[in-house]
Structure 1
């Protein structure tokens, strides 16, 4: 059974037709790369896959259950869509701590370990409002993975990262795949997609065309 499945999904967003009768099957433990020009609907696709918005027609199912108003947000999803909002006058650790308190699943030590994995110093006193774009991106990645989420939907996870950080995050994502995580990601850098993805899809003609 597919972990995530889109069946005959059609979606218009802000007056634009993005998808028509689109199908996608995401299997557990693999990395899926999505490519397509800006405005083609990749972010909207992610939002449908995690229940932030719903298709106009068709269905999105996660673990065999259709997402809807009564079953909105699937469990154990880590998500980067658009740019997350943070408390600018707090440190990176303090921001993640506030988020972790919602479910109270992880310890301070686990938060710190995750920050180090993505290349952030958990004891740094620097406020998030003074973070570079790359540091904010790392903070978003830490938030997406810190609770050992089973599924990661990562829209442009390499945005604003320097070369060394890109290498580190690629290795991190591959290690998460080895642990059995399922990852769907986008990137404007084809190399990221080629290195990481088991399957590659391109948004084209209001549908998903499989390239690999």
Structure 2
């Protein structure tokens, strides 16, 4: 069953066509990949799916709900788009605790568990401003998974990770898929995508095409 559907979506900003008649669907319980160069439109498509940007025309449904009509922002979705933003003078745990307070769905045990799953120590007092890029990426993933969402939307999740970190991240995402979750990954690295994903689509100048599925 398709959990995300994009129907004839166009996006124009100013006089520039960013997305051109996008038609694509993503099946539940699989890992889907989007590849393309910077500026190809892949991040903008993700932002439209998440409800951050309203398409100029067309329709997007997530888990049976029309984005921008039935819901402003899809529920049950964990998101990393671009570099995750955190309060620099808070620890990783304190940042996640603050964010978790917005929905009040989880407590400290779930927050700590999400950090441990991505290889971070929840008891580390170091401020986020002293985190490496790889640690920030891990913290972003911990934020995305801490409420155990059905869908993960991940833009360049391997940025800043060393070889071992990439391997650990791949293993984690595969285990998340085994729980019946749906994952949409955007990357400029064809290798990351081909190793991990069940389906692969390529974005080029606002046009999408299937290259593996």
The verdict on a shared fold, with TM-score over 0.5 as the criterion, is yes
Shift of 1:65: 2.1
Partner of 1:33: 33
Please list the CA deviations of residues 96-153 of structure 1 after superposition, one character each: whole Å capped at 9, or x if unmatched: 0111111122221221111111111111110001111111111101000111011000
Gaps of 5+ in 2: none
Gaps of 5+ in 1: none
Partner of 2:208: 208
1:72 aligns with 2:107: no
Please list the CA deviations of residues 126-184 of structure 1 after superposition, one character each: whole Å capped at 9, or x if unmatched: 00011111111111010001110110000000000011111111000000000011000
User: Aligned equivalents of 1:145 and 1:109: distance in 2?
Assistant: 13
CA contact (8 A) 2:97 2:108 kept: yes
CA-based RMSD: 1.3
- Structure 1 runs of 4+ aligned residues shifted over 3 Å read none
Shift of 1:186: 1.4
Partner of 2:160: 160
Partner of 1:140: 140
Partner of 2:88: 88
Residues 42 and 53 of structure 1: is their aligned pair in 2 closer, same or farther, counting only changes over 3 Å? same
Give TM-score, length-normalised by structure 1: 0.96
CA contact (8 A) 2:18 2:206 kept: yes
Partner of 1:99: 99
Give the total of aligned pairs.
212
1:108 aligns with 2:103: no
Partner of 2:174: 174
CA contact (8 A) 2:134 2:161 kept: yes
Give TM-score, length-normalised by structure 2: 0.95
Instruction: State which drifts further: 160-169 or 63-72.
Output: 63-72
Q: SS state of the match for residue 72, structure 2?
A: coil
Residues 166 and 9 of structure 1: is their aligned pair in 2 closer, same or farther, counting only changes over 3 Å? same
Q: SS state of the match for residue 11, structure 2?
A: strand
Partner of 1:192: 192
Q: SS state of the match for residue 10, structure 1?
A: strand
